[in-house]
Amino acid sequence: MRKRIILDCDPGHDDAIAILLARGCPEIELVAITTVAGNQTLDKTTLNARRVCTVAGIHDVPIFAGSWRPLKRPQITAPEIHGTSGLDGPAFGEPTVGVQDENAVDYLVRTLMAEGEGITLVPVGPLTNVAAALRREPRIAERTREVVLMGGAYTRGNRTPAAEFNMLADPEAAAIVFGAGWPLTMIGLDLTHQAVASGEVVQKIRAMGTDVSRMVTGLLEFYGASYRRSGVAGAGLGPPVHDPCAVARVARPDLIAVQDAFVAVETRGEWTSGMTVTDFRGSLGHPHNAKVATTLDAEGFWDLMLTALQTFGGPAGEGLG
Ligand code: BDR
Ligand code: CA
């Protein structure tokens, strides 16, 4: 039985690759894509989801646009990593895939209340949509099969020394999501920095010779250059592809080892807002509320990814400039 997922994302280079992995791997049925402001403003992240689906020929997965700003804080975006479009690199044409009229938060509440026991929610951007859905209808926490999210870290941040970007962008939302009492897995930076798109990987993708492979290599080249500039990627290494790791955990749980922990999201710290304080040992005296990803089978992950990308077939000639 394929696992049915809703991907809540802010494309974003690694979000784009997460969409492709979710669509391309046989273990998963991608039910819908919901978009949120994060790497760029909502209009841009939504346009980018439509662009990726157009190039990949994904016409039967509805896209719903959601929250345009965090619950409480001023918006932050990540142009230094993802460019001014949020998906700089490839030249995109006009997308032919559209966006639904219904708001993403309404869609999440409606769908999770009706059929949540069969749905895994995979948020890979700031958690604003998911928190807004929980506020609107707290019972979605009992209905949803599980949440597997990309965000946080137990050792270090990336946007600040303490905080990972998705958590820093909307810490209040993240605190609501981690506190909701549903089965939740945190795929944080400690894990995603083991999923490095090396030069060898990029070469293998390029060699596929499809529109999707052209798009993905264009994305990885821009994204890799951003990471090299940021000083995060080591010389000769590639950039970490964060968001597909959450999809991979749903598709193939055996690829990602996890450990139970209590995770609290810092919302008041002077220097540490957005930090995911992770207590593996129980020293804070709180029951575990998350499974936290620790170790990736990187070879298995890239096998899964390359096989998924191969499913997209030859050039369709749509959506790339
Ligand atoms: C996360 O932040 C975004 O820039 C990426 O898309 C990913 O979801 C990594 O910190
Ligand atoms: Ca993202």
DSSP 162-188: S--HHHHH-HHHHHHHHTS-S-EEEE-
Which residues 6+ apart lie within 8 Å of 64 measured at CB? 32, 33, 34, 35, 99, 100, 102, 103, 104, 107
Give the rounded percent of residues in the chain with a pLDDT score beyond 90.
Answer: 94
* Ion ligand 2 residues within 5 Å by Cβ: 10, 12, 15, 124-125, 243
Residues (pLDDT < 50) of the chain are: none
For 150, the token pair is 């990309």
Please give the pLDDT value at position 235: 60
Residues serving a catalytic function are 242
Classify strands 290-296 and 256-265 as parallel, antiparallel or unpaired. antiparallel
Spell out the domain ranges in the chain.
3-310
CA distances from 121 to 34, 104, 108, 150 (A): 10, 13, 9, 11
Among protein residues, the one with the nearest Cα to ligand 1's atom 10 is 165
pLDDT for 69 equals 98
Instruction: Give the pLDDT confidence score for residue 14 in this predicted structure.
Output: 98
Give yes or no for residue 249 CB within 6 A of ligand 1: no
Confidence at residue 232, expressed as pLDDT on a 0 to 100 scale: 77
Q: Determine whether the shortest distance from the Cβ of 243 to ligand 1 is under 6 A.
A: yes
pLDDT of residue 8: 99
Distance 35 CA to ligand 2 centre (A): 10
State pLDDT tens for residues 299-315: 999 999 999 999 998 66
CATH code at 3-310: 3.90.245.10
**Nearest listed ligand to the Cα of residue 36:** 2
pTM: 0.98
- Alpha-carbon distance of 292 to 278, in angstroms, equals 9
Q: Summarize pLDDT for 92-122 with one digit per residue, the tens.
A: 999 999 999 999 999 999 999 999 999 999 9
190 lines ligand 1 (CB under 6 A): no
Q: What pLDDT is recorded for position 231?
A: 81
**pLDDT value for 315:** 62
In the three-class reduction of DSSP (H, G, I as helix; E, B as strand; rest coil), residue 53 is classed as: helix
Please work out whether the CB of residue 17 comes within 6 Å of at least one atom of ligand 1: no
Q: Are the beta carbons of 127 and 170 closer than 8 angstroms?
A: yes
Strands (DSSP E) found in 116-248:
119-123, 146-150, 184-187
Using a pLDDT cut of 70, give the percent of the chain over it: 98
Ligand nearest to the CA of 193: 1
